[in-house]
Amino acid sequence: MLTLPRVNSRAILTTLVYKIRLDNKLEAKEHYFAECLRVIAENTAHIVGISSFGEVSGAVITKHINELFVPEDTRTAEDVFNEVVRKGGLKVV
């Protein structure tokens, strides 16, 4: 966004909102695919891991993707917005 030619602040904010929505959709798809792979791996472990005695010995992934990758930034959206306004020298009307 910094490479854009002279663009007014309204266009930048509109683009930013669009980019955030796009990122959220991408994150939702990645979460869905990760869950699918986890379930496939779990089902495969149960099928392959069954011994001749009928006991399940296959290892299973017990954590969800959200538990594996915890975001480092724990700020709220309001905190991020206030920081952008403060650092950018913007004036909120």
Q: What is the pLDDT of residues 60-83, one digit of tens each?
A: 666 776 777 777 777 888 888 888
Please give the Cα distance from 54 to 42 (Å, whole number): 17
Q: What is the DSSP letter of 49?
A: T
Dist. CA 76–CA 78, nearest whole Å: 5
Each of the 93 residues of the chain gets a pLDDT tens digit; together they read 556 567 777 877 888 888 888 888 988 898 888 888 888 877 777 666 654 455 555 556 667 767 777 777 778 888 888 888 888 888 877
pTM of the model: 0.45
